[in-house]
Amino acid sequence: MTKTITIDGNAIPFEDGQTIMDAATAAGVYIPHLCHHPEYTPHGSCKLCTVRVNGRVCSACTFPAAEGQDVLNNTKDLNDDRQKITQMLFVEGNHFCPSCEKTGNCQLQAVAYYLNMLDDHFPHFYAHREMDASHHDVLIDHNRCIFCTLCVRASQQKDGKDVFAISGRGINKHLIVNSKSGQLKDTDLEASDQAAHICPTGAILIKRTGYTVPIGERIYDHKQIDEVSLASEAEDHG
């Protein structure tokens, strides 16, 4: 007999070893997420995937599915909390979408649209963050990093390299690269690496590719992130 959990009242099958996120995605149920990617070990840092499991607040991307779980996901309260979390991500960094090459194709922006986020609510930090344009093909704009560690994981788990890491804590947390000079050009990163393409924001960009897709044809111009995400991730979770 298949084991099931319920999400928002619907029975969702799961197999042992799956997280709530795995089971939900395989069944076509979208749980908002930014630091989660089906091909990599969960990190559980962005908290966008916060759900209630039998009343308790948990991260769906790290919490194992188990018999008897009654999960709340798409509720007003949870989406309000997710919107506040997203607003915090926006004010901690410097997100000027009109001048960002990722706009229209950015998961952070798309999650904010999905949550109908119309303002940033909190006061802005306007923290001074640098850019690293030293690499021939790849640019890092630290203003837009949300410390999801997807580039760290992709470099280690897919590319067999160790180009990125997160250093420091709290407000001083920042992305670092593995080279003596501290510059991206002196690492072994190549533009074809998975780590150069996985960033859910405009923090890691491939040079000379910006604005090639016209407004109206970008990923999230007409499709919401739930649809886009389920279409690309449902198989990985199968």
Partner 1 sequence: MAKIRIATTSLAGCFGCHMSFLDLDERLVALADLVEFDRSPITDIEHCTNCDIGLIEGGVCNSENVHTLREFRKNCKILVAVGACAINGGLPAMRNFIPLEECLSEAYLDGIGVENPQIPSDPELPLLLDKVRPIHEVVKIDYFLPGCPPSADVFWAFLTDLLEGREPSLSYELVHYD
Q: Which residues of this chain interact with ligand SF4, rule CB under 6 A?
A: 95-97, 100, 102-103, 106, 108-109, 144-151, 164, 175, 198-199, 201-204
Only segment of 38-46, 65-73, 190-198, 224-232 that touches ligand FES (CB under 6 A): 38-46
Query: Binds 118, which of partner 1, ligand SF4, ligand FES, none (CB < 5 to 8 A, cut-off by type)?
Result: partner 1
Only segment of 11-19, 52-60, 97-105, 185-193 that touches partner 1 (CB under 8 A): 97-105
Residue 26 token pair: 């395989």
Asked if 82 is part of the footprint of ligand FES (rule: CB under 6 A), the reply reads no
User: Alpha-carbon distance 105 to 228, whole Å?
Assistant: 11
Query: Binds 126, which of ligand SF4, partner 1, ligand FES, none (CB < 5 to 8 A, cut-off by type)?
Result: partner 1
Q: Please pick, from the candidates 25, 59, 143, 149, the single residue that binds ligand FES as defined by CB under 6 A.
A: 59
Give the start-end residues of each E strand in the chain.
Answer: 3-7, 10-14, 50-53, 56-59, 70-72, 131-132, 138-141, 164-167, 174-177, 204-206
Q: Please pick, from the candidates 32, 38, 42, 104, the single residue that binds partner 1 as defined by CB under 8 A.
A: 104
Select from 42, 114, 32, 109 the least CA-distant residue to 73: 32
Helices 107-114 and 225-233 sit at what angle, rounded to 10 degrees? 120
Select from 152, 187, 183 the least CA-distant residue to 167: 152
| Exposure class string for 179-199: b at 16+ Cβ within 10 A, else e | eeeeebeebebeeebbbbebb
Q: Please pick, from the candidates 68, 70, 126, 176, the single residue that binds partner 1 as defined by CB under 8 A.
A: 126
Phi, psi of 98 (to 5 degrees): -60, -20
Tell the smallest beta-carbon distance from residue 136 to ligand FES (Å).
32
Query: Binds 102, which of partner 1, ligand FES, ligand SF4, none (CB < 5 to 8 A, cut-off by type)?
Result: ligand SF4
Q: Tell me which residues touch partner 1 (CB under 8 A).
A: 90, 94-100, 103-104, 109, 112-114, 116-121, 123-124, 126, 128, 215, 222, 224
